């Protein structure tokens, strides 16, 4: 993270500190979807990851904010999610999703939420999921956060 990004993140945290709101309780995957449907997508000029409580309090966020919020909501129902960030070739663009698999809920296959859209894959290999987030020729690299 460069110094400008650090300063912007610090200022954003000061501005947003009063926007934090406790997350609603969820008990099912449908409840998670209902919560996500109440949050609006908004791209950011400067990439700043908001904590899930701030995203929920503001009812808006970018793809990384949605992914972090989804990870925290899934944890309430005993599902271990992760943020998967995919970086594209020759651009500064990236996309983040919440990826998860669960022996009972997903049958051991990876599913992912891209903002408010749940995608149920048949993949057991995370790299194959990456290529469903962004088509293979566009993918420069990816990371699980």
Extents of the domains making up the chain: 3-144
What integer pLDDT is reported at residue 13 of this predicted model?
Answer: 57
**Cα–Cα separations (whole angstroms), residue 25 to 6, 29, 75, 82:** 32, 12, 11, 19
Distances (CA, A) of 80 to 6, 61, 75: 29, 21, 6
Highest CATH level, class, for 3-144: alpha beta
In this prediction, residue 58 carries a pLDDT of 96
Average pLDDT across each block of 10 residues of the chain; the chain has 145 residues. List them in order: 60 64 97 98 82 96 97 98 92 91 96 97 96 91 94
Q: What's the predicted TM-score (pTM) here?
A: 0.86
């Amino acid at each position: 993270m460069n110094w400008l990004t650090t300063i912007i993140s610090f200022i954003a945290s000061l501005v947003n500190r009063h926007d934090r709101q406790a997350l609603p309780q969820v008990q099912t995957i449908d409840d998670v979807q209902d919560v996500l449907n109440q949050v609006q997508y908004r791209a950011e000029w400067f990439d700043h990851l908001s904590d899930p409580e701030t995203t929920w309090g503001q009812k808006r966020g970018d793809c990384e904010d949605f992914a972090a919020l989804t990870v925290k909501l899934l944890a309430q129902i005993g599902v271990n999610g992760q943020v998967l960030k995919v970086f594209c070739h020759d651009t500064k663009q990236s996309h983040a999703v919440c990826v998860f698999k669960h022996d009972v809920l997903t049958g051991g296959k990876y599913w992912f939420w891209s903002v408010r859209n749940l995608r149920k894959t048949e993949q057991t290999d995370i790299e194959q999921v990456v290529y469903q987030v962004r088509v293979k020729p566009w993918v420069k690299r990816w990371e699980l956060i």
